[in-house]
Chain A
């Protein structure tokens, strides 16, 4: 059967993409299949696991609970957009690397986007606040200990960056 396609412009990681999608195309699938941005992972596809979390106008949202056609007026940031301008790892990515914040890595993109926004709101979280920040994301490998450490380390790295930027 043929479905009507909608021509929409998605703004992802600072780049505008024109895509033609059926209305039922989930944003998560559009990112992966139409745009080839396979960093966003698809786990449960009903909003529970958090693997597909992206930033929509800076706020973490489940890309599996949005339709691509409905995401036209916003700026989307995926895990691919979390690197620094010079392509080096961003603070959250670097922290995960240093703290072994991932094992299989499937859930990691969702954690990284969530934590990036979380640190924007609360740049120096306590350990409890770090746990709370990631409470909506599931990880089946790490037991979360090293992810909590990664949040705290990312806060340090961000802080150091800010200090460097404003001597």
Chain B
């Protein structure tokens, strides 16, 4: 077959046509979004491009932010970790400083897709893509992080609790660009743990759970269980009641990959496991 396929040169592409702009400044990027109500941001594209290729989304314009300066920062300080919009998962995962300041970020990132996807995909992009089956939105919410966004009216900070408004839907306005995400540092006596079950490592998880134990406070975050990344408070519960209590506040769904019953069982088992592991981390840190 000749280049271009049987029915003409454009038959080889699957995404619907769109206008492409590659701004050199953040202001131009915001203007590019504001100028077209059907515009979308292209960062790593590891979630967006499949949606375009399957024509589940067909934005009229893509604003490619890969050429913007100073957005690939990964800064870890005593208070937390700030990750720029162009920092790739692989670089965040490789950062020893990130692992030291907030180990849950690194624990979860190791489960984000496969290494090849992590090389291109961005952590901030995953967070604002708002997929309830993704690791980082849930982690941001469990840790009480936030996202800084830039829009025509300037910048604002959106707390993780206000970020996820529905399935695959964030509270960013269409003309706003997420410029960074903030994960608070792990408290001195706090512990975290993460575990997920997937058919193959790197696939979308059937269920994933993270725990944050800080003093008496015990909280757990869930991915692939509800329509949005969900956090449940499990403070002051007996070990044996953790799973059932969590389940009472969650609504595991049925799909081709797992039944609701099986997901419920994963919630029970993984909740107990990650809470125990987070407690153990906290205990080890408190030990002299």
Chain A interfacial positions (CB closer than 8 Å to B): 1, 3-4, 6, 22-26, 29, 32-34, 36, 45-47, 50, 53, 56, 59-62, 64-67, 69-70, 73, 114, 132-133, 135-136
With an 8 Å Cβ cutoff, the count of chain B residues facing the other chain is 36
B66 close to chain A: CB less than 8 A: yes
- CB B34 to nearest CB in A, in angstroms, measures 19
Pick from B3, B12, B45: contact of A66, CB under 8 Å: B45
Roughly how many angstroms separate A64 CA and B202 CA in the complex, as a whole number?
18
Q: Decide yes or no whether B64 CB sits under 8 A from chain A.
A: yes
The answer on a CB contact under 8 Å between A45 and B14 is yes
B contact residues around A135 at 8 Å (CB): 114-115, 200-202
Interface majority SS (helix, strand, loop, mixed), chain A: mixed
Residues of B within 8 A of A133 (CB): 115
A-B contact pairs, 6 of them (CB 8 A): A26-B14, A36-B3, A46-B53, A60-B119, A61-B120, A136-B202
Residue positions of B touching A, CB distance < 8 A:
3-4, 10, 12-20, 22, 42, 45-46, 49-50, 52-54, 62, 64, 66-67, 90, 113-117, 119-120, 200-202
Contact call A70/B17, Cβ cutoff below 8 A: no
Q: Could you tell me if A26 and B116 are in contact, using CB atoms closer than 8 angstroms?
A: no
Find B120's partner among A32, A65, A114, A132 (CB 8 Å cutoff): A65
A59 to B89, CA, bound (A): 13
Please, how many angstroms separate the alpha-carbon atoms of A157 and B55 in the complex? 44
Choose among B13, B18, B67, B90 the residue that contacts A26 (Cβ–Cβ < 8 A).
B13
Chain A contacts for B200, CB-based, 8 A? 135
Q: Are A62 and B19 in contact (CB under 8 A)?
A: no
In contact, B115 and A60 (Cβ under 8 angstroms)? yes
**A134–B116 CA distance with the chains assembled, in angstroms:** 10
Contact, CB under 8 Å: B16 / A70: no
Q: Is the CB of A24 within 8 A of B15?
A: yes
| Chain A residue at minimum C-beta to C-beta distance from B200 | A135
Assembly CA distance A34 to B3 (angstroms): 8
Chain B residues near A50 (CB, 8 Å)? 114, 116
Q: Could you tell me if A47 and B117 are in contact, using CB atoms closer than 8 angstroms?
A: yes
Least CB distance, B131 to chain A, in whole angstroms: 14
Chain B residues with Cβ below 8 Å from A66 are 45, 49, 120
B111 to chain A, nearest CB (A): 12
Enumerate chain B residues within 8 angstroms of A69, measured Cβ to Cβ. 20, 22, 64
B116 and A53 contact, CB distance less than 8 A: yes
Given contacts A45-B53, A65-B46, contact A23 B19 (CB under 8 A): yes
Q: A60's closest neighbor in chain B, by CB?
A: B116
Q: State whether A47 and B49 are in contact (beta carbons under 8 Å apart), knowing that A24-B17, A135-B200, A135-B202 are contacts in the complex.
A: yes
Cα separation A45 to B54 with both chains bound (whole Å): 9
Residues of B contacting A3 in the complex (Cβ-Cβ under 8 angstroms): 10, 17
